Amino acid sequence: MCGRVSLVSSNPTGRAKRVVIMVQENHTTDNYFRGLAPYGGAVASDWPIAPNPPARDAPHDRHAYFEWLTGASTGVHVQFDTRTVLPYYLYLALTGAFLENHCAGFGTNSTANHLLIVGGQSPTLKNPSTARPPLWDMPSLPGLAEANGVAWRAYAASKDYPVAFYTQLKGSPNVVTSSQFVADAKAGNLPALSFLWHNSPFDEHPPADVTEGMHLIWQSVDAVVQGGGWQETVFMLTWDDWGGYDDHVKTPALEYTPDNVQLALGPRVPLLVFGGPVKPGIDSRWCSHVSIPKTAIQLLGLPALGVPRLDDDPGLADLVDPARQPNSAPPAFGTALELPPIPKAPVAPHPPPPHPPGNPVPVGPVILRDGSTLPPPNDAPLPEQPSPPVP
């Protein structure tokens, strides 16, 4: 099996041979991972059970986030039955690393958070038109990889979302359709860095049946296993934004917009890190979407991107130990999942860690590749608050 693995370029200074970043849509940690409560996860466990498929796509833009942040709305206060409708995700959370205090990078909806995962910054807090998408000449993780001889591929959603917003990436032959991922993975033909997005209904964006999206992620991971790549691949699976769903944890204020409303961190969303060399366990540190590209940079031995928000993030590379005995590969798609037994004695969750030191700062300008800047994102203004948020 391992003989089928194909890497176009090496990364001798890194800690992983391959990184696969998978981004799904619109669910909070409490909304999806109720099933972690018996194992000590810091999740709510007594909210009403969500129907699957969900009834509607709830408001989850910047204004809806403001209402949730200020207590004017709880958001959609429901949870999916993880063990019943999302068992593969529960399996990955219990056998890999689950970052229970991972957060959307910004408190708003999709596009800004996708751009944070690709390159650590966003000029917008809205979802721009995909019919005629704006182009921004921002640095990106794929561009950094290419400049340093590390092969990459973006398996994008329709209209090359979200990489079509990058001048650097638009039209690249390395941007392909997401439907190509499974065949490439089975053939052992994934590059050192892969991004994977899906179209509806497989992206789990409400009102899609969330089990359908889980099944495609399962097939995608299983394709890597079949291609012989499990032992040397680090997967990072996350959800782009909160989707209008409630979460019981209030996240630290790190950045705010000119109206004095918290922008970062956004609400908690799940992050699962798994693969052969990943150290398993529930991890309680604060992290966000910029931690994902920073971790890929660390694991692949790349230099700094030049975006302070990303470059200054501590990353999560300590979760990966290439010298450890590799974890067993997950069960093949469609086979029985044997979840770890529920502990007989209740496991107490870890309390949230202290907030990062320092006071929140105004969101900074957007840095372009030529060193010039764009104004800080402020295209979704809110009622001005009397003072900046407290840490």
Is the confidence at residue 7, as pLDDT, over 60? no
Q: Is 315 left (phi over 0), alpha (psi -120 to 50) or beta?
A: left
Q: Provide the pLDDT for residue 133.
A: 87
Q: What spatial distance separates the first Cα and last Cα of the chain, rounded to whole Å?
A: 50
Q: Provide the pLDDT for residue 9.
A: 37
Q: For residue 134, give the 3-state DSSP assignment.
A: coil
pLDDT higher for 12 or 65? 65
DSSP conformational letter for 34: G
Q: Provide the pLDDT for residue 4.
A: 30
> What digits encode the pLDDT tens for the residues 325-346?
999 999 999 999 999 999 999 8
- Residue 142 CA to residue 297 CA, distance in Å, equals 10
The owner of tokens 């079949």 is: 226
Which whole-number Å values give the CA distances from 123 to 115, 213, 249, 364, 365, in the listed order? Answer: 9, 29, 27, 10, 8
Percent share of the chain, pLDDT over 70: 97
- Arithmetic mean of pLDDT, 155-169: 97
Is the confidence at residue 1, as pLDDT, over 50? no
Phi, psi of 322, deg, nearest 5 = -65, -15
> What digits encode the pLDDT tens for the residues 179-211?
999 999 999 999 999 999 999 999 999 999 999
For the chain, give every domain's residue range: 2-337+355-374
Residue 76 bridge partners (DSSP) = 245
For the chain, state the CA radius of gyration: 20
CB 42 within 8 A of CB 350: yes
> What digits encode the pLDDT tens for the residues 306-328?
999 999 999 999 999 999 999 99
Q: Provide the pLDDT for residue 346.
A: 85
CB 100 within 8 A of CB 54: no
Q: Provide the pLDDT for residue 5.
A: 31
Closest by alpha carbon to 112, among 235, 217, 264? Answer: 264
CB 35 within 8 A of CB 82: yes
The mean pLDDT of the chain is 95
- Arithmetic mean of pLDDT, 252-273: 98
> What digits encode the pLDDT tens for the residues 353-375?
999 889 999 999 999 999 999 99
Is the confidence at residue 64, as pLDDT, over 60? yes
Is the confidence at residue 140, as pLDDT, over 70? yes
Q: Provide the pLDDT for residue 13.
A: 55
Alpha helix segments (H runs only) across 125-206: 141-147, 181-186
Is the confidence at residue 31, as pLDDT, over 80? yes
| DSSP character string of 331-377 | PPTTSPP-PPPPPSSPPPPPPPPPPPSS--EE--PEEPTTS-EEPPP
Q: Is the CATH number 3.40.720.10 carried by domain 2-337+355-374?
A: yes
